[in-house]
Amino acid sequence: MSARLTKEEIHAQLKEQILLLDLPAGARLQEERLAEHFGVSRTPIRQVLDRLEFEGLVEQIRGAGARVSHLDAKSLRDEWALRLRVAELVADFVRLPASKDILERVESIRDRLESVRETRDTRELGALYNRYHEAMLEVVSNAALARIHDLLYVQTARIWMQFLPEMDLDKEIDVMAEEIDQTLGALRGSSGADLARIRTEHMSRLLTRFNEQATAWPVMQV
């Protein structure tokens, strides 16, 4: 690569590839190849892999190297239940009305949803939801809460991407558009409770759709 990336940029790229299933569960992550690809030494790659392991996206096994972690139904159930509770806490720790920059970013995400309806690109839909999540983190005024919120999102986001090819794509686009429209209204206002209610309601609805779709994952019920 022409420009040397920072550890944060390398981490962001690998995390995105894992969340969007470009790097599927079980994929090997070889330090030497990653270092060559990103044009860095193996030391920052090890640090990035350690961080991804902490986030639950990577497993490092002595003598076997690193690989993308597999999804575990029980862990997903526990993480999703906690994610719902943490989303409720956001009501007390938000900066509203949101800044013009955040509003414009969320509006842009909303606009781009219609192109996904034409292209049927589930990866792009996943990437847009990741951008929406990142924008929502920026209205959280408590840094510790934002980190926990992000960690729980990272640990659960892949399940949607895994199920998405089997789900009604138009319905998923409609639901995401509805969530973003409601969120924009809350971001322009001053009620953290409204924003938290919208987020938790849509997380609960998504969990219901998972359970309708996922007969192999009955323990996703929380």
pLDDT at 215: 59
Segment 48-93, tens digit of pLDDT = 999 999 999 999 988 788 999 999 888 888 999 999 999 999 999 9
Q: Which CATH architecture has domain 7-68?
A: Orthogonal Bundle (1.10)
Segment 86-122, tens digit of pLDDT = 999 999 999 999 999 999 999 999 999 999 999 999 9
Angle between helices 7-19 and 122-137 (to 10 degrees): 130
Segment 2-60, tens digit of pLDDT = 468 899 999 999 999 999 999 999 999 999 999 999 999 999 999 999 999 999 999 99
Q: Where are the domains of the chain?
A: 7-68, 73-220
Query: What is this structure's pTM?
Result: 0.92
CATH of domain 73-220: 1.20.120
